[in-house]
Amino acid sequence: MSNVQAVHAGWVIPVEPDGVVLERHTLVIDGTHIAAIVPTASWRNDLGATEIDCRRHVLVPGFVNAHTHAAMSLFRGMADDLPLMEWLERHIWPAEARVAGREFVRDGTRLAAAEMLTGGTTCFNDMYFFGDEAAAAAIEAGIRAVIGLIVIGFPSAWASDVDEYFRKAEAVHDQYRGHPLVTSAFAPHAPYTVDDAALTRVATLAEELDVPVHMHVHETVGEIEGALATHGARPLRRLEGLGLLSPRLLAVHMTAVDEDEYELLARTGVSVVHCPESNLKLASGFCPVARLLGAGVSVALGTDGAASNNRLDMLGELRSASLLAKGVSGDPCALPAAQALRMATLSGARALGLDHAIGSLEVGKLADLVAVDLSALGTQPIYDPLSQLVYASQRSQISDVWVGGRHLVRQGELTTLDSDELRASATAWRSRIAEA
């Protein structure tokens, strides 16, 4: 039986080259990789390929969700409409202390993976405890994952002290080294929860292991005020002094940026991860995306966790990011559709060191792709499929998703996970968490 698939699409938006839209093209998957992208009229089925009709669809690279706390899907809606620190300190951290063990992480990550896959996310960058369980859940689902090697300055069910966090981080990294779906990144929680000695150790080990560093930075004005009082420096400057500002760093949120910090971020090659809907819901502030991009800073896109969003919907984040950038900058030309899509795909892949393999639809890259049906009334008529994708499409229009050539969502249905089982699990966890 042939391992070749031919996806006949109405449009293909490869992301690279920038702004290109290919009409009536066929994308050929040979095993795990993209073998060809050719005009459908000239394609011939000489290899016995399985033909897939997506002529009403636009094909785009799989979304790269550059910031998640996947297991926290089981906290979705538990403590809404609260400020960030009250939400964390009075609700989330106490709940984690009661229930966040291995089973919680495995089940919560499976639920998140299902939601992300059906929403077109093919790779997620996670930050949570029990990274080995999150990796196992991702492998079961077939989704690509960057597993956070978490470091935080207080004990948890995962580790009792900083030394144990580091020991377990290296063990998880070694366990999944070379896996086709799983890579890792150091994930110190935030400058205000990790001390200088631990951050210096992160910088050294990240270089030795050649992995990214994933951290909340400048999430709120209050965080910066606390840093000035405690350390006499803004968090970004403190991280600079500790050797953490480099192309390895994914600085998540960055809602408060001083004039001289734009140049600092650009010069050091830091990637910013923008989480527009979570920041809006927690009233954390507005990431100045247009200013960052204008300064030459690479910006990726993430959802944050479902406990603070409350969705893991990258298509929704695309639209929110573009509209918010226009409103914040006062410029209707800020963050056009093509740039928003790049943030959700290739920019995220590049921040994670995966752009050689994913993030764009190019021959030789892994076949991580998404088909979005544009025939819905809400996306008619179609003048510009890229514009319709970003400004008018809904996640319900995502029909098919492939990761490494594997068809994980087929006509809206998951092929690796049981939706009824996931619903039952989530309901059971709601009862357990409420009783705890």
pLDDT tens digit string along 33-88? Answer: 999 999 999 999 988 999 999 999 999 999 999 999 999 999 999 989 988 889 88
Contacts of 155 (CB under 8 A, 6+ apart): 161
Could you tell me if 386 and 421 are in contact, meaning their C-beta atoms sit under 8 angstroms apart? no
Count of residues in the chain: 436
Contacts of 86 (CB under 8 A, 6+ apart): none
Q: Is the per-residue pLDDT at 395 higher than 70?
A: yes
Helices 162-175 and 131-141: crossing angle, nearest 10°?
30
3-state secondary structure of 191: coil
Phi, psi for residue 375 in degrees, rounded to 5: -80, -5
Could you tell me if 283 and 248 are in contact, meaning their C-beta atoms sit under 8 angstroms apart? no
- The model's pLDDT over 117-159, given as tens digits with 9 standing for 90+, comes to 999 999 999 999 999 999 999 999 999 999 999 999 999 999 9
Query: How far is it, in rounded angstroms, from Cα 258 to Cα 112?
Result: 35
Contacts of 153 (CB under 8 A, 6+ apart): 162, 189, 193, 194, 195, 198
Query: What separation in angstroms does the CA of 159 have from each of 74, 138, 187, 270?
Result: 21, 22, 14, 29
pLDDT, position 207:
97
pLDDT, position 434:
87
Give the mean pLDDT of the chain. Answer: 97
Neighbours of 9 (CB within 10 A): 27
Domains delineated in the chain: 4-60+369-403 (2.30.40.10), 63-351 (3.20.20.140)
Contacts of 371 (CB under 8 A, 6+ apart): 7, 9, 54, 57, 58, 59, 398, 399, 400, 401
Q: How confident is residue 215, by pLDDT bands cut at 50, 70 and 90? A: very high
pLDDT, position 47:
84
Gyration radius (Cα) of the chain, Å:
21
- Give the mean pLDDT of 355-372: 98
Query: How far is it, in rounded angstroms, from Cα 10 to Cα 432?
Result: 47
Give strand pairing partners of 370: 60, 401
Model confidence, pTM: 0.97
Could you tell me if 357 and 365 are in contact, meaning their C-beta atoms sit under 8 angstroms apart? yes
